[in-house]
Amino acid sequence: MKNYADWESHFEDEFNKISAERRHKPGAFLSVVPLGAEWENYKDFVRCGWRIGRITEFPFCLLTLYAGVAFYDYESGDYWKPFAAAVGVKSISPMQYNKLNDYLFYHAREIGLETLASSRGNDFVGTAIFQIGVPLSFWQDFLKVCENLWWREDWKSFSSDEWEAFVTRKVGGLARLKRFLVDNPKTARRFIAEVHDVRRLVASGADVAEIIQMSFLRPEHFAAAPETEQFISPQESLAFLNRFQLVWNENQAKISIYLPPVAAAELPAVWRLGETQQRADLYQHEFPINRHAFQPKISLNFEGTSKTETKKLEGIEHWAIFDDETNRLVNVECANLPLKSYTLVSAAPLEEIALKGFDEEIEENEKLNLRDGFECFINRLSPMERKAQISFVCNGEKHELKFRTKNRVEIFLLAGLACNVAQFRLFRNTLKTDCLPVPCLILPTDLFDGEEIDLAEKFKVSLDAQTGAGNWEKARDEGNQAFYFWRWDDQTRARKKVDLTIESEGLAIRKEFKIEILQPKANLVDCWTNLPDKFLPFALLAQPNFKSDKGTTFDEMHEIKEIVQPHGRFVNLGFFHFYENLGVLKSSGKRWQFAQSKIYFGANNGENFLRFCGNPSLLWQMLRYAAEKLPDENFRKIEVISKKGDVTHLFLKLTEQQKILGEKYVRDNGGNFNLTKVDEKWEENL
């Protein structure tokens, strides 16, 4: 756009897309403010010919400038310092900003936007902030306040003194955010309610892409704080959000841009980046760019039926971090990144790498050629503790990143605790077990603001719609997280087939599990008492996963471990890669599964035994089969063998009949369950 008239027309068109109802809500004008690269272009234009008397002639240009500075650049009580920087001058005099403020209020009222007043009169800065909701610099910490108030029913009726007391208690150490919340209570409280409304709409099953498009949310909110997606949709990843995203795919050795859908009226159309191009489409799809990702800014050109435009995207100047769960580019400007597994990709080897809390045995600077031949280097970050950090030197500059446990609620189901952890079978999404499974809960420690609450009321557990008799028991506190499991009352009994439900109105979720309770085998009572012990990684991987049919991530196993075996260090990724090389495990992306469980039946000095490595729930099924056929024979205790230089496995002495029935079960059913009988030497056949 070449002049003010062009920008004015563009901004007015964007404003006209806002519904009349929405124009009176906090953040209403934010959709008019340009995205990052276009915002920089607009500021460059304003700087070139900055004159107060000129911009005030164009209402939407002036409003957009006020709102953009409030959103992108406002960090403290001094609004005019970033405003002066935006327009390219050293300072804005009182006479100048009084004139600008008068025009701001006049234009805002003329087009129907809400304006604010304070005890001193018209609140100009407050009005600018109201139009964008929350400055981006406050967003990550602001979300924590939203999460806390989500669980409270009384916050909307707080008096001004109660509001200030709450803010001081929650964010007292964050002076800028505290000042913002206390100085702008109307904006802050109304915007919190708006954020809560978006979460309720998502939970109701409404179209998420449409909700995001109609709400205040922008790509910058998701980039500034990974918690945005977690808050809006606590239990499901919003992978389908229609926005440009840089994504990493190690298995296919490529870096791509996820392109948003294009309106049918603009098709056929293409996206171009240098000499490469990708056809535009009605749905979100990827554009492999590989070596072209390694530049500070990516200029993506769109050529449609009726328009052409250029999108400026953040690239990889020297290095970048990708989330292993979503494969998306991570914003490293966050003060503390969520503690999970990441892949750090760089154009050159990193130097002076120092890890704390991450697996230090993983190879550094592993070379990888992308599909177009470009050589890059990867460093895998796999957390071993509840907080971690990495420092390194890249291109002569030192960088340091800190990671903390995720500030979100997690709900999952274990087959059992202690020796019951592997006694189950998952068949067609029905969990078959001879004991009641265990609901589990992970909560941020400050979720309820230190108030005494009834967890059983906030997170209800029921069997066949009857509230389950029991209580949430804390397994441990670790960092900023608390781990709970559901302890059933001793008198709780379940019929053969039941629906187990975990429900939270606060999270607006309801999880249902099909359970079939089997008759316990008296002759197996002592068989499993030595587990899980060193067989813990296999027991965790065996747990029923209702999230994905592609397996369990290392991070998910680490979380389960905190409840099954709260104390002690977990194994590193090298453990899983070792058993992958033996053919027992397999990986799909960052998720792990059992590939082939191995069982060996042998005899020594006339005494029969078995050795087993793999999914322990398969061994449980086999032993139940044999126990049913031999009700008068008690089974010995399983031993966990874990010696240095040996394969970690289970060892069980058998009678002759137990061995015969075990071999028959494997012969008849092994092919269905990826359970293989090996012969001769145990280690060689693994």
Residue 289 is predicted with a pLDDT of 96
Give the model's confidence band at 427: pLDDT under 50 very low, under 70 low, under 90 confident, else very high: confident
pLDDT over 50 (residue 398): yes
Mean pLDDT, the chain, as a whole number? 88
Percent of the chain with pLDDT over 70: 93
d(CA 253, CA 183): 50
Is the model more confident about 210 or about 6?
Answer: 6
pLDDT over 80 (residue 365): yes
Mean pLDDT of 518-544: 94
Q: What values do phi and psi take at 432, rounded to 5?
A: -100, 125
Lowest mean pLDDT among 9-13, 167-171, 443-447: 443-447
- Greatest Cα pair distance, the chain, in angstroms, is 102
Lowest mean pLDDT among 35-49, 83-97, 213-227: 213-227
Residue 331 is predicted with a pLDDT of 79
Mean pLDDT of 318-329: 90
pLDDT over 80 (residue 554): yes
Max avg pLDDT among 305-319, 455-469, 639-653 = 639-653
Residue 303 is predicted with a pLDDT of 93
Residue 184 is predicted with a pLDDT of 82
pLDDT over 60 (residue 238): no
Residue 240 is predicted with a pLDDT of 43
- Name which of 273, 210, 266 is nearest 246 in CA terms: 273
Give the model's confidence band at 354: pLDDT under 50 very low, under 70 low, under 90 confident, else very high: very high
pLDDT over 80 (residue 306): yes
H, E, C per residue of 563-596: HHCCCCCCCCHHHHHHHHHCCCEEEECCEEEECC
CA distances 226 to 197, 326, 464, Å, are: 19, 11, 36
Mean pLDDT of 615-624: 97
Lowest mean pLDDT among 185-194, 205-214, 305-314, 335-344: 205-214
d(CA 423, CA 620): 6
Could you check whether the bond before residue 532 is cis, i.e. omega within 30 degrees of 0? yes
d(CA 342, CA 254): 16
d(CA 191, CA 178): 15
Tell me the pTM.
Answer: 0.71
Residue 206 is predicted with a pLDDT of 67
**Residue 587's CB: how many other CB atoms inside 10 A?**
18
- Name which of 269, 349, 560 is nearest 438 in CA terms: 560
pLDDT over 50 (residue 356): yes
Residue 602 is predicted with a pLDDT of 93
Per residue in 26-43, pLDDT tens?
888 999 999 877 898 899
CB 253 within 8 A of CB 370: yes
Q: Which residue has the tokens 């609901």?
A: 439
d(CA 198, CA 616): 43
Mean pLDDT of 609-623: 97
Helix H or strand E segment including 260 = none
HSE of 319, CA atoms in CB hemisphere, 13 A: 26
Per residue in 103-121, pLDDT tens?
999 999 998 888 888 777 8
Give the model's confidence band at 411: pLDDT under 50 very low, under 70 low, under 90 confident, else very high: confident
Mean pLDDT of 189-193: 88
Residue 451 is predicted with a pLDDT of 65
pLDDT over 70 (residue 226): no
Token pair of 263, please? Answer: 């309106």
Give the model's confidence band at 197: pLDDT under 50 very low, under 70 low, under 90 confident, else very high: confident
Structure-derived torsion over alpha carbons of residues 615, 620, 623, 625, reported in degrees to the nearest 10: -110
CB 481 within 8 A of CB 559: no
Residue 370 is predicted with a pLDDT of 96
Give the model's confidence band at 405: pLDDT under 50 very low, under 70 low, under 90 confident, else very high: confident
pLDDT over 60 (residue 378): yes
Lowest mean pLDDT among 6-15, 357-366, 659-668, 676-685: 676-685
Residue 212 is predicted with a pLDDT of 63
Q: What values do phi and psi take at 497, rounded to 5?
A: -120, 125
Q: Taking CA 218 as the corner, what is the angle to CA 217 and CA 223, rounded to the nearest 5 degrees? A: 115
Is the model more confident about 346 or about 18?
Answer: 346
Long-range CB contact pairs, 632-635, < 8 A, 24+: 632/523, 633/523, 633/657, 633/658, 634/523, 634/526, 635/523, 635/524, 635/526, 635/527
Per residue in 490-521, pLDDT tens?
888 777 899 999 988 776 678 889 999 999 99
pLDDT over 50 (residue 388): yes
Residue 450 is predicted with a pLDDT of 62
Residue 336 is predicted with a pLDDT of 75
pLDDT over 60 (residue 242): no
